[in-house]
């Protein structure tokens, strides 16, 4: 298993007889036979009978049903622990991809999301590298959209909530390769990710309904209403990325059998499908969400990390690393000469500043307009030491950017070079 991250997920080679990583950590005494049976059935294992009321025999999917498991019906029998231990060992040594999926479902209660993308394949049945990367990046973008919407509804998030939403994906696991790069399965832990999964399920069905409505009537009203169900620019963009260059994409979901079905959700959610015919509606909706999302009034506290102006006595641009007041990592703002001087002096003495303004949706909520009321903010000693350390590490850069009074930038020069989030 590998975490789903911004980087490509590279499966590690494993011999057919090698135990799966982490399988040894599973305790047979903690395994619920009903959960094991449900996972086996979900992943295509076939029940072949067994002693009625005592145990069931399961064989792995595919023409070569080499692995056979005896799974007790409950833990009420004396040999149930031994049978479960033997079943776990057999699964760990099985070469069937489904065995890995079952073990992951046992190790951590997880909701499973599966993407199937119809793309051209070569004679070997494998998709191109580009198609495979599109599937993985589109799937991650879709999960991120669900995590964003779980934090609060908006038509367009931009840089907002990215840190929290990204953290919610940290424990998401990726299943083994299947169908030549045309299918992908992820396991989202219930404890950290179920809220995002529920939101994503509702949002996908709402987007499907809204696209149907637009194609039938030409109206976008359904997309406007779908925002309350989690549909957003980020979701429509993820669907567009998955559908482009394919004949369509299908998203299916199964709840963790250990955690059960969440309240208000169907026990067996219907898969959601999108086709190239949906692209115009989705693209129009995505652009509409960006255009219509309003700016947000905020009062931000942040550390100055960048200063620049072309006229030593005029207006300048300041970049802040946000400490509080807005759920974005950094913002930029244009300041008049007096406010620019205050920002520079605060930086020199290792103090953050507080400023009011409006976060503009243009540029992804990274720009603060109408900045006013700039004042230095006192911080505790630990935070002050951290800020001062950052200053000293960049002192040469900052001195080059400062004029005689310690705050005026020379033409074309910059303060400490820190990425501004673009």
- DSSP-assigned states of every residue in 203-258: HHHHHHHHHHHHHHH---HHHHHHGGGT--HHHHHHHHHHHTTSSEEEEEEE--TT
Helix, strand, coil percentages for the chain (3-state, nearest 5): 40, 20, 40
- The neighbour count for residue 216, using CB atoms within 10 Å, is 9
Helix (H) or strand (E) segment spanning residue 33 = helix 33-42
Alpha helix positions (H), 350-403: 381-393, 395-401
Written as tens digits, the pLDDT of the chain (422 aa) is 444 433 333 333 333 334 444 455 688 888 888 899 999 999 888 888 766 667 888 888 876 666 788 888 888 878 888 888 898 988 888 877 888 888 888 888 899 999 999 887 766 667 777 888 899 999 999 999 999 999 999 999 999 999 889 998 888 988 766 666 688 999 999 998 999 999 999 999 999 999 999 999 999 999 999 999 999 999 999 999 999 999 999 999 999 999 999 999 999 999 999 999 999 999 999 999 999 999 999 999 999 999 999 888 889 999 999 999 999 999 999 999 999 999 999 999 889 999 999 999 888 999 999 999 999 998 776 666 665 565 555 444 343 334 333 333 333 333 433 333 33
Q: What is the pLDDT of residue 412?
A: 37
DSSP code, position 293: P
Q: Which has the closest alpha carbon to 149: 231, 262, 205, 208?
A: 231
Q: Which has the closest alpha carbon to 161: 301, 284, 322, 333?
A: 322
Is 317:298 a contact under the CB 8 Å cutoff?
Answer: no
Pairing of strands 330-335, 367-376: parallel
Angle between helices 190-217 and 233-243 (to 10 degrees): 80
Tokens of 125: 């049945």
Q: What is the pLDDT of residue 52?
A: 65
19, exposed or middle or buried, with CB in 10 Å at 0-12, 13-18, 19+?
middle
Q: What is the pLDDT of residue 111?
A: 95
Q: Please tell me whether the overall predicted TM-score, pTM, comes out greater than 0.85 for this model.
A: no
Q: Provide Rg for the chain, Cα atoms.
A: 27
Distance CA 148, CA 372 (A): 29
Q: What is the pLDDT of residue 405?
A: 36
Distance CA 182, CA 176 (A): 12
Q: How many CA atoms lie within 13 A of 262 on its CB side?
A: 19
Q: How many helices (H) and strands (E) does the chain have?
A: 12, 14
Q: How many CA atoms lie within 13 A of 407 on its CB side?
A: 22
Task: Mention every residue, 6+ apart, whose C-beta is less than 8 A from residue 42.
Answer: 105, 112, 254, 257
CA distances from 111 to 100, 196, 252, 253 (A): 15, 11, 11, 7
Q: What is the pLDDT of residue 318?
A: 96
Q: What is the pLDDT of residue 63?
A: 67
Q: What is the pLDDT of residue 404?
A: 34
Angle between helices 97-107 and 33-42 (to 10 degrees): 140
Distance CA 48, CA 379 (A): 68
Is 303:331 a contact under the CB 8 Å cutoff?
Answer: no
- The neighbour count for residue 392, using CB atoms within 10 Å, is 11
CA distances from 408 to 133, 231, 308, 390 (A): 47, 46, 9, 20
């Amino acid at each position: 298993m590998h975490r789903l991250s911004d980087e490509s997920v590279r499966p590690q080679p494993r011999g057919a007889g090698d135990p799966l990583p982490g399988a040894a950590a599973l305790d047979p005494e903690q395994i619920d036979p009903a959960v094991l049976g449900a996972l086996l059935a979900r992943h295509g294992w076939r029940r072949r009978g067994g002693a009625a009321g005592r145990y069931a025999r399961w064989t792995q999917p595919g023409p070569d049903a080499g692995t056979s498991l005896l799974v007790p019906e409950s833990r009420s029998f004396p040999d149930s622990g031994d049978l479960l231990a033997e079943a776990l060992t057999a699964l760990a040594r099985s070469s069937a991809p489904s065995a890995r999926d079952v073990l992951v479902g046992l190790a951590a209660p997880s909701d499973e999301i599966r993407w199937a993308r119809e793309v051209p394949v070569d004679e070997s049945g494998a998709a191109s590298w580009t198609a495979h990367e599109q599937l993985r990046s589109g799937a991650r973008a879709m999960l991120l959209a669900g995590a964003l919407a779980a934090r609060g509804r908006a038509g367009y998030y931009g840089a907002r909530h990215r840190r929290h939403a990204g953290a919610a994906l940290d424990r998401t696991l990726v299943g083994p390769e299947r169908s030549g790069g045309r299918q992908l399965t992820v396991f989202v832990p219930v404890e950290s990710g179920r809220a995002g999964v529920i939101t994503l399920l509702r949002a996908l069905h709402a987007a499907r309904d809204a696209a149907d409505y637009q194609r039938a009537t030409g109206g976008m009203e359904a997309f406007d209403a779908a925002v309350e169900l989690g549909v957003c620019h980020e979701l429509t963009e993820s669907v567009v990325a998955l559908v482009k260059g394919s004949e369509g994409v299908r998203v299916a979901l199964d709840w963790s059998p250990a955690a059960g079905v969440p309240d208000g959700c169907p026990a067996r959610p219907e898969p959601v499908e999108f086709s190239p015919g949906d692209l115009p509606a989705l693209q129009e909706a995505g652009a509409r969400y960006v255009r219509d999302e309003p700016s947000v009034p905020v009062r931000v506290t942040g550390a100055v990390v960048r200063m620049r102006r072309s006229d030593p006595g005029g207006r300048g641009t300041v970049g802040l690393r946000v400490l509080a007041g807005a759920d974005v990592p950094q913002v930029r703002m244009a300041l008049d000469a007096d406010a620019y001087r205050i920002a520079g002096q605060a930086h020199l003495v290792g103090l953050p500043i507080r400023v009011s303004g409006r976060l503009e949706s243009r540029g992804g909520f990274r720009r603060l307009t109408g900045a006013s009321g700039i004042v230095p903010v006192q911080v505790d000693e630990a935070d002050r030491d951290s800020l001062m350390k950052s200053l000293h590490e960049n002192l040469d850069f900052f001195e080059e950017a400062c004029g005689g009074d310690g705050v005026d930038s020379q033409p074309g020069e910059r303060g400490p070079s820190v990425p501004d989030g673009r």
